[in-house]
Structure 1
Amino acid sequence: MANPWAGEVAIWLDGRRHVGKLTLGALAELEATLSEGSLIGMAERFESRRFSARDVLAILVAGLRGGGWQGTAEDLRTVEVGGGPMGAARAAAELLARAFALPEE
């Protein structure tokens, strides 16, 4: 079970549950791949719903890798993400929110 208090998010890939978490290392990996230039800018894009499929993919890969998954972005291109594109976007938004939220929020 994913622990939201620890910043974890459940992500379903091909019917298998994985735990995603944006650890400091995962955040650094994500920042290196962003066209936005900053994680705060990325969070703001999600809040205003101006994100792209590429943004969602990058966040999912970073979060899954932070949770121990050994895959790559290429691996995600061929799997079914639980909830489809909207489920993927929701999981990415939750990863960002939980990475930057205090447990009381």
Structure 2
Amino acid sequence: MPVPNPARGEVVVPLAGAPRRLCLTLGALARIEAVLRLDDWSALPERFGRLSASELLAVLAALLEGGGEDPAVLDAAPVSIPESVAAVAAALAACA
């Protein structure tokens, strides 16, 4: 099981059938801003309230990459919407 580094804002959550490490790094934040077409990160809270399914997958992929995980796991195993939302919420809370 991956061990999270709380000082880095990492969190380990169940996702795609296994524990996965997620982290909101600067690179992950930049990818999320690009996918959501945001000018800056201050618009994230409002925008997260209305994500499409493809946007949610892109956010998860960025957070997985930030945690050193392979985002291809999202294609390899089923991931439920509640599981996805909980994973994103946990990753964002860990860096707050």
**TM-score under structure 1 normalisation?**
0.68
Query: Matches of residues 38-57 of structure 1 in structure 2 within 5 Å?
Result: 38-46=40-48, 49-57=49-57
Q: CA RMSD in A?
A: 2.4
**CA, structure 1 residues 80+12, in 2 after alignment: closer, same or farther (shift >3 Å)?**
farther
Find the aligned partners of 1:97 and 1:54 in 2 and give their Cα distance.
22
Secondary structure at the aligned position of 1:2 is classed as coil
How many pairs align? 94
CA contact (8 A) 2:15 2:87 kept: no
Find the aligned partners of 1:26 and 1:50 in 2 and give their Cα distance.
19
Secondary structure at the aligned position of 2:4 is classed as coil
Aligned twin of 1:71:
71
Answering whether residue 85 of structure 2 is matched by residue 89 of structure 1, we say yes
Letter in 2 for 1:95: A
CA offset digits 1:8-32 (Å, max 9, x no partner): 2223344221101011122122222
Secondary structure at the aligned position of 2:78 is classed as coil
Gaps of 5+ in 1: none
Find the aligned partners of 1:38 and 1:54 in 2 and give their Cα distance.
20
**TM-score under structure 2 normalisation?**
0.73
**CA, structure 1 residues 69+44, in 2 after alignment: closer, same or farther (shift >3 Å)?**
same
CA offset digits 1:5-64 (Å, max 9, x no partner): 532222334422110101112212222222344332222233xx3232223212110110
Gaps of 5+ in 2: none
1:67 is displaced (CA, Å) by: 0.8
**CA, structure 1 residues 71+90, in 2 after alignment: closer, same or farther (shift >3 Å)?**
closer
Percent of residue pairs identical = 40
1:91 is displaced (CA, Å) by: 1.1
